[in-house]
Amino acid sequence: MTKKSNVIMFTCMIGMAGVLGACSKSGTEVHTSPSGDNTTPVEISIMSDFYSPEPPNDQDPIRQEIEKKTNTKLNITWVSPNNYGDKTNVTLASGDLPELMLIREPFQPQIRKMADQGAFWDLTPYLKDYKNFSAFPAESWTNTSINGKNYGIPFARPLFGTEGMPILRKDWLDQLGLQPPKNLDEMYAVMKAFTENDPDGNGKKDTIGLTATVATNNMGSLSWVENVLNGSYGKWKEKEGQLMDTTFEKGTRDALLWLTKAYKEGLLASDFPTLKNSQVRESMTTNKAGIFTDAIKPTWLLTGQMRSANPKADLLALSYLEGPYGKFAPKGSGAFGFWVIPKSVKEDKLKKILAFMDYGASLEGSVMANYGFKGEHYNEQDGMYLFTEKAKEYTGVIFPIFQSLDKYAFAYQTGIPADFLKRNMSIIDELAKVAIGDRTVGLTSETYNKVGLDYDKRTQDLKVKVIFGREPIEAWDAYTAGLKADAQYQKISNEFNDDYKKRQTK
């Protein structure tokens, strides 16, 4: 296997029990025409985004084979992700919807309103008839449901490795004789060593321990500090069946103190509030910083870039960090939006569209859409898929209507060596044992929709001021005391909890 090989490990849907019937024949069943008439292809109009430099080719042989397998004729409108939100809003407002439409933000008010008004099919009663996509992880369905109903097929994503955990220069750890940190004390010691002990060996003190980005309304890629100390993923934590705002938790205050100390001692990039993700990545690949936060996928992308100049370069994602509540790692939502079918589509056509998507959730359909033809675009070796030179003609997902169903999809990257891939997979296995998901995905609060962002921005602004030393920690205490006495802010909590209770009973 050469370094140019694209190595992909594909499993029989570990962690999605039953979705492919242990890769049995049921995994490739297709019944595009429930009536039994398969002579005339089913025409389906689709709107989707794409993440390749150019939109997928309508005449691509893999797409044509998928159309043949599903007895369909697809009319796909491809939209750049840069414009997809605007295009979605315009299309929804027009009322002239495609028969299958990708919605990246299922919980925006417009989608909720349209669902309540019956604009989309409620797919809940039909799921039992489509064994492949109905067996997506429970989180994929729960985290795209509206009022306990499934108005769309999840755009499924792996649960593990998709969310950000600290990623470290392992070659720097090795250079300094350090082990990967297991808790925040050890993390702090590594940050200090990366800043002060010349980890790149150039004889200069020109490195920094931690770099990061933050948003105007949240802590961005520094959120893991709060998450570890609160034992929760995101702004809300469940306690005895109630959602608790972590703004008021001791762990959030302790995270501010931890980051304030790191900033004061020069272990945290001083310009983190203004940095972009591309700048953070560049600081890693140019030996300026030793730790950043990202999904596991780019570990090889960036390592590969560095190894042309430094063969020992190595980025290692942590599988967890331990805090007061035990080991923490984040779990993804299991979806990146969902596919809706407008109620204007007749029921017999609805079933044919569902059958088409069910094929995409089969082993055969998913592998073909993501990896191409065996023997032409990939070969199997030692349980892995090795891309051929011909596969390089594809600069993105081959047929992005169908997602990769591999638990380890975020472990690989183009050109990844087998040993690096296997290590990434083992990291995913470890974090899967302890990962915590965001309890509030899909919940709504009318008050938050109106004023919540303003509160979030004020909160984030104060956090940065405390970290910079421009405000004392006592200012944080006074601020949170004010929020506790703010009836409008407390109304947000009550509304989220009401919605949470409704979801628990459905």
pLDDT in tens, the chain (506 residues): 333 334 444 333 223 222 222 233 333 344 444 444 558 999 999 999 998 889 999 999 999 999 999 999 999 999 999 899 999 999 999 999 999 999 999 998 899 999 999 999 999 999 999 999 988 999 999 999 998 899 999 999 999 999 999 999 999 999 999 999 999 999 999 999 999 999 999 999 999 999 999 999 999 999 999 999 999 999 999 998 899 999 999 999 999 999 999 999 999 999 999 999 999 999 999 999 999 999 999 999 999 999 999 999 999 999 999 999 999 999 999 999 999 999 999 999 999 999 999 999 999 999 999 889 999 998 887 666 777 888 888 877 899 999 887 888 899 776 788 899 899 999 999 999 999 999 899 898 999 999 999 999 999 999 999 999 999 999 999 999 999 999 999 999 999 999 998 877 76
Same domain, yes or no, for 488 and 401?
no
Tell me if 424 is assigned to some domain: no
Q: Domain of 190: which CATH number?
A: 3.40.190.10
- Chosen domain end from 277, 299, 328: 328
- Chosen domain end from 289, 307, 328: 328
Same domain, yes or no, for 23 and 138?
yes
Predicted pLDDT at 25 = 30
Same domain, yes or no, for 21 and 153?
yes
Tell me if 187 is assigned to some domain: yes
State the amino acid at position 345 in one-letter form.
Answer: V
Tell me if 425 is assigned to some domain: no
Tell me if 59 is assigned to some domain: yes
Same domain, yes or no, for 96 and 244?
no
Same domain, yes or no, for 152 and 16?
yes
Domains contained in the chain, number? 3
Tell me if 419 is assigned to some domain: no
Tell me if 433 is assigned to some domain: no
Same domain, yes or no, for 148 and 202?
no
pTM as predicted: 0.85
Same domain, yes or no, for 19 and 145?
yes
- Chosen domain end from 386, 411, 436: 411
Predicted pLDDT at 38 = 57
Same domain, yes or no, for 301 and 362?
no
Q: Which two tokens stand for residue 426?
A: 């083992």
Same domain, yes or no, for 354 and 274?
no
Tell me if 437 is assigned to some domain: no
What does the alpha-carbon distance between residue 294 and residue 424 come to, in Å, rounded to a whole number?
Answer: 13
Same domain, yes or no, for 193 and 318?
yes
Same domain, yes or no, for 218 and 315?
yes
DSSP 139-198: HHHHTT-BTTB--SEEEE--SSSSS-EEEEEHHHHHHHT-PPPSBHHHHHHHHHHHHHS-
Give me the sign of the Cα torsion angle 17, 21, 22, 26. Answer: negative
DSSP state of 265: T
Do 262 and 210 contact (CB within 8 A), yes or no? Answer: yes
Tell me if 455 is assigned to some domain: yes
Same domain, yes or no, for 145 and 184?
no
> What is the residue range of 16's domain?
7-160+334-411
